[in-house]
């Protein structure tokens, strides 16, 4: 049985018809047409589908779509503030080798955003802990950690009004 929900996705109120037993992940990928969020396991083990739901990172595969009626969801497609204006995390991942095959990347970027929103100046151990639920099979995490650390510096400079170095 389908249910109509209204969920704000990346700032836009979206009216979606979803099966009551479907996940937010399937709703995003199919009903909303936002395929940037990836399905790596569908059971909450890999983190590839991480999105930000009302300010908190979640595995979209573990949330029922119907539960998000009236909620705010940010996906990878909403990470940049405007076309051509990337989030510092996106810049850092591009320049420092934070992505290889790119399949875990949307989830890791969203998890990293949630981490830096909460803790703008994380230690490397805190970064490792922050993305502990996100499986990356390509990079060995070294360059992901470099990229998050670098983006944190940029964000702190921006917050101080210093802009990008």
Partner 1 sequence: MSERQKFNVIGKSVKRSDMLEKVTGAARYAGDLTLPGMLHGKLKRCEIAHANIKRIDTSKALALAGVKAVLTHKDVPHVLHYGSPHPRSASVTKDQYILDTKVRYWGEAVAAVAATTEDIADEAIRLIEVEYEALPAAITLDDAMAAGAPVIHDNGLEGNRVVPDMLFKRGDVEKGFAEADIIIEGNYAVGRPQPAYMEPNVCVAQWDGSDKLTLWTSTQSAFMVRGTLAEVLGLPLGKVRVLCDHMGGGFGAKQDLFQHEFLCALLSRQTRRPVRMEYSRKECFLGGRSRHPGTIWLKQGFKRDGTITARAAKVVFDSGAYGSHAPGVTAVGASALTSLFRCENVHLEGKCVYTNTPIAGAFRGYGVVQTYYALDIQIDEAAEKLGMDPAELKLKTAVREGDIAPSGHAIVGHGLEDCIREGMKAVGWKERPVGCGSAAYRTVSPADGAVRADALPHPTSKKVRGWGIGCEMHGSSAYPGIKEQGNALVNLNEDGSATLLTGAAGLGTGAHTALCQIVAEELGLEFEAVSVVHGDTDIVPWDIGAFASHTTYMVGTAAKMAAAEIKQKLLARAADQLEVSAGDLEVEGGFIGVRGVPGRGISVRDCVAPKLGIPAAHLFGSGTYMPTKSYSFGAHFVEVEVDTGTGQIDVLQVVPVHEIGKVIHPIAAAGQIEGGIQQGIGHTLTENHEIDPKTGRSLNANFVDYKMPLSMDMPDIKTIILETAPDPGGPWGAKGVGEDPIIAIGPAIANAIYDATGVRFRHYPITPEQVLEGLARRRHV
Distance of CA 124 to the CA centre of its chain: 19
Residue 77 found at the interface with partner 1 (CB under 8 A): yes
CA distance linking residue 53 with residue 64, whole number of Å: 12
Residue 27 found at the interface with partner 1 (CB under 8 A): no
Q: Which of 13, 17, 56, 101 binds partner 1 (CB under 8 A)?
A: 101
Instruction: Give the binding range for partner 1 (CB under 8 A) out of 1-9, 62-70, 135-143, 152-160.
Output: 135-143
Residue 126 found at the interface with partner 1 (CB under 8 A): no
Residue 17 found at the interface with partner 1 (CB under 8 A): no
Residue 23 found at the interface with partner 1 (CB under 8 A): no
Query: Apex CA 32: angle with CA 30 and CA 37, to 5°?
Result: 70
Task: Say if residue 30 is exposed, middle or buried (CB neighbours under 10 Å; 0-12, 13-18, 19+).
Answer: middle
Six token digits for residue 140 = 């060995």
Q: How many residues of this chain interact with partner 1, rule: CB under 8 A?
A: 57
- In degrees and rounded to multiples of 5, residue 56 shows phi and psi of -120, 140
Residue 113 found at the interface with partner 1 (CB under 8 A): no
Residue 97 found at the interface with partner 1 (CB under 8 A): yes
Residue 79 found at the interface with partner 1 (CB under 8 A): yes
Task: Say if residue 131 is exposed, middle or buried (CB neighbours under 10 Å; 0-12, 13-18, 19+).
Answer: buried
The site for partner 1 (CB under 8 A) is made up of 19, 29-30, 33-43, 45-46, 48, 75-77, 79-80, 86, 89-90, 93-106, 109, 127-129, 131-132, 134-145
């Amino acid at each position: 049985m389908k249910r109509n929900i209204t969920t704000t996705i990346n700032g836009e109120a979206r009216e979606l018809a979803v099966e009551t037993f479907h996940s937010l992940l399937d709703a995003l990928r199919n009903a909303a047409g936002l395929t940037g969020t990836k399905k790596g396991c569908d059971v909450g083990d890999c983190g590839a589908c991480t999105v930000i739901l009302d300010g908190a990172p979640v595995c979209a595969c573990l949330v029922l779509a119907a539960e998000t009626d009236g909620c705010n969801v940010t996906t990878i497609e909403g990470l940049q503030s405007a076309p051509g204006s990337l989030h510092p995390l996106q810049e850092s991942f591009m320049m420092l080798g934070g992505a290889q095959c790119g399949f875990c990347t949307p989830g890791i970027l969203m998890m990293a955003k949630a981490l830096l929103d909460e803790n703008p100046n994380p230690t490397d151990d805190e970064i490792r802990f922050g993305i502990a639920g996100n499986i990356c099979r390509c990079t060995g995490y070294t360059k992901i950690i470099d990229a998050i650390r670098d983006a944190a510096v940029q964000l702190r400079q921006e917050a101080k009004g210093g802009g990008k170095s």
